[in-house]
Structure 1
């Protein structure tokens, strides 16, 4: 609120490009007139037409170029020396009839012809269609205080004035207008009349109300921008501040200069046109008597090929970082309103006379003696205004007498342009990141939950899953090691059992295939082989039904030797140890001992053994075999 921006610059161009001075220059022959220029073009077209008829050919394309396409005001502009073209256009003092300023406090300041004031900066710009354009800017010190700026602009001589010098430009019929083309833009910028310009009617009061809109672009990796650029760009003799479109057009102009060796008039003229670097539309020789038909057609084709790819080329300039958008810029959004300007001849006359006199007086030091000596004319004009009773009897001879509107003498030859602020506020449009990191995570979570049922808890479960997965991989490695140790122990046990059998067979000198017959004495059982030993162990455990094997309570067995007794004790101890281990792994073990079926093959009276309870191996090793005889 109440943060005014700088007052915009106002660029205006007259649709009637030629001033009254231009007719004098044409009449004197100092500058080729539009009529003479058109005559040269028509002669060239007639030449190509005659050449085609002699060869029985159709209408040649070259004749169409010279007779119609080249007969325009912009081609005429490009065939003039750039300094002489400025002489044909409107001058500042002649174009700006009056100006006025209104400050925020309501104070009104009126300026005379040319609007010469310390707070005003006026620059002249050369344009191929309008010739001389003018840009009015308020100085930085007063820019934020000015509320409105008014310009009374003269539109030039009557259309029928010395028409014999302007019998040309047939194809401009659809582009000709009467009035002004105006653009309001940032101070120091080169106005783009094609995109920013609006039409101003003659003889009207045209009011433009604007809002200042400040745009702040967000700098991103894909769309970088530049902060407060200092680089300046040139158009003929004028320098302008950096602007993105101006930068692109400048690089495009440099490309045209390199490839086509000419200056394109509608792009910034980075160099002054001359004989070695002419405008691309230049076709008149130095003596203004003939045309360079070959050179103009070659340059025309070269320019056409490059401009047809202008969009691609500008995009490449931006992508390569040659031109970047400004991070902060100000646009002026305006609305136009038009009404009849109720001005009279005497009002315009006396407003101009008095404002000019006051401007002269206020521009000098406050010295009455100096004022009386050097500004008698200004003082006399004021005295005439003060002493005249009927102001309508005295009118200026400056205006045209053949006005279209009799009631308001200057209505068709002048126009009134008034540019006003809507308010002191500045509208700020700032780009922000729509999808921040937090918003991105939130949207991903919401979409996952909505479409695939995934929530944040799922990610936690994924983490837990990977943790367990890694943990189990580590446990599997340990488990495999335990299995290897177990397999190794089992293998060692089997080796020990085989070793026991071998020792039984060797030391006890038994026949492996000989088993004591059931018909033997029931009180004595000879341990002839491994099966006999197993039967001994099984029978003893079954009959006693005790926690240990008591060899002394089984006198029916005879042992071959003491070594056999030790081997039997060892075998039985290992069996009990294995059984104890199985009982520890399985809380209830109902399976019989591993020796239960060995004896049933030959002794039917033996019953399956019951599980042996856990006992200490030390108690088992204390048992002694009573007798072992051969």
Structure 2
């Protein structure tokens, strides 16, 4: 049974931002010095060498498949998780300022606004195979009275696809300079690839958000929820990020479990229940 509540106050939605060019200038400097072995160009060179070996062995079909792996997401999977977090934008590099308005009161800060009522803006960083570090802004406490959230975000310098950054041929048609933004229900996993809008300097974009009230009822069948593991109490995990239950992400988590069991690897494009360690990413080229 569905019930529509009209004029019912809703929680203020969360906002997730991902920079399309995920590498800040400091990382480019690292690639040119002490961490040159982990630069995209080095990965590209190793990939080319493997493709060349396959061609020399007349395994052209395998060489053709491997040549399509020159992608940012494959580079991500070939890094340790902590290094992938280090190579992406950090919170203080991306979020420059924000302003939250609640009634007649405005709270201005970088990312630590707290109202006298206890309502506050919290930020979290989560890891994505294409964009490395994304940032979610959520309002904790009673957010029904929050009127607006304004964010100033730095997109860094215009990317240069030369030097240690020479790689990712297969991403050439997706390279851009700007931000992907998504508005979603608080606590939910942001489907940034499906429900985001490309934000660019000098352009006006409008995002629409439809509030949905979820009420848990004792239905005979509770799809994709069991009484153990990460599904207990309707919570799901993606690396260090714990989010509320949604059927879509629950199915992804179940699919990831099947791939882990049969392929002995971790799919980076699905919900990652564990951190890559003894079980590598399926796209790990090392």
Q: Shorter-chain-normalised TM-score: which range?
A: 0.7 to 0.9
- Gap change, CA 1:99 and 1:93, over 3 Å in 2: same
Give the 3-state SS of the residue equivalent to 1:125 in structure 2.
strand
Query: Closer, same or farther in 2 for the Cα pair 1:213/1:158, shift >3 Å?
Result: same
Specify which of 16, 22, 46 is matched with residue 40 of structure 1: 46
Secondary structure of the 2:150 match is strand
- Among candidates 15, 18, 28, match of residue 33 of structure 2: 28
Are the structure 2 counterparts of residues 23 and 201 from structure 1 closer, same or farther at C-alpha, using a change threshold of 3 Å? same
Alignment of 1:369-384 (within 5 A): none
Which residue pairs with 2:62 in the alignment?
Answer: 62
Q: Which structure: greater strand fraction? A: 2
Question: Partners in 1 of 2:241 and 2:213 — Cα distance?
Answer: 26
C-alpha change, 1:120 and 1:14, in structure 2 (3 Å) is same
Q: Which residue of 2 aligns with 1:91?
A: 90
Q: 256, 267, 270: which one pairs with 2:270?
A: 267
Shift in alpha-carbon separation, 1:32–1:145, aligned structure 2, 3 A: same
Deviation per CA, 1:452-492, whole angstroms, max 9, x where unpaired?
xxxxxxxxxxxxxxxxxxxxxxxxxxxxxxxxxxxxxxxxx
More helix as a share of residues: 1
Summarize the Cα distance change of 1:63–1:187 in structure 2 as closer, same or farther, 3 Å threshold.
same
Normalising by structure 1, what TM-score? Answer: 0.40
Note the aligned Cα RMSD (angstroms). 2.4
Alignment of structure 1 residues 258-297 onto 2, 5 Å: 258-274=261-277, 276-284=278-286
1:247 deviates by 1.3
What SS does the aligned partner of 1:99 have?
strand
Structure 1 residues 245 and 211, CA gap change in structure 2 (3 angstroms)? closer
Please say if residues 224 and 247 of structure 2, whose CA atoms lie closer than 8 Å, have aligned partners that are also in contact.
no
Structure 2 distance, partners of 1:13, 1:247, is 23
Structure 2 distance, partners of 1:164, 1:212, is 46
State how far apart, in whole Å, the 2-side matches of 1:273 and 1:214 are.
35
> How far off its partner does 1:24 sit?
2.3
Q: Counterparts of 1:364-513 in structure 2 under 5 Å?
A: none
Q: Specify the alignment match of 2:106 in structure 1.
A: 108
The change in CA–CA distance for 1:205 and 1:110 in structure 2 (over 3 A counts) is farther
In the alignment, does 2:243 pair up with 1:244? Answer: no
Match of 2:203 in 1: 204
Please identify, of 86-95 and 115-124, the stretch whose mean Cα deviation from structure 2 is larger: 115-124
Structure 1 residue 152 corresponds to structure 2 residue 155: no
How far is the alpha carbon of 1:255 from its aligned partner? 0.9
Q: TM-score, normalised by structure 2?
A: 0.86
Unaligned residue ranges in structure 2 (runs of 5+): 1-5, 115-119, 226-231
- Taking a change above 3 Å as real, the CA distance of residues 146 and 238 of structure 1, as seen in their structure-2 partners, is same
Task: Say which SS state the counterpart of residue 194 (structure 2) adopts.
Answer: helix
Cα drift, residue 163 of structure 1: 2.7
| Aligned residue in 2 for 1:193 | 192
Instruction: Give how far 1:139 is off.
Output: 0.9
The structure with more radius of gyration:
1
Cα contact 1:6–1:140 (8 A) shared by 2:
no
1:121 paired residue number? 122
Aligned-residue offset at 1:12: 1.1
Match of 2:171, SS state, is helix
**Alpha-carbon contact 2:236-2:242 (below 8 Å) kept:** yes
Instruction: Give the deviation of 1:128 after TM superposition.
Output: 0.3
Using the alignment, how far apart are the partners of 2:151 and 2:242 within structure 1? 24
1:215 CA displacement: 6.3
Residue of structure 2 in register with 1:486 after alignment: none
More contact order relative to length (CA 8 Å, sep ≥ 6): 2
Counterparts of 2:256 and 2:63 in 1: how far apart (Å)? 29
Cα distance in 1 for residues equivalent to 2:84 and 2:224: 38
- 1:195 is paired with a residue of what secondary structure? coil
Q: 1:179 to 1:38 in 2, by over 3 A?
A: same
> Which ranges of structure 1 fall in alignment gaps of 5 or more residues?
53-58, 285-630
Query: How many Å separate the matches in 2 of 1:248 and 1:82?
Result: 24
Please state how far the C-alpha of 1:224 moved relative to its aligned partner. 6.9
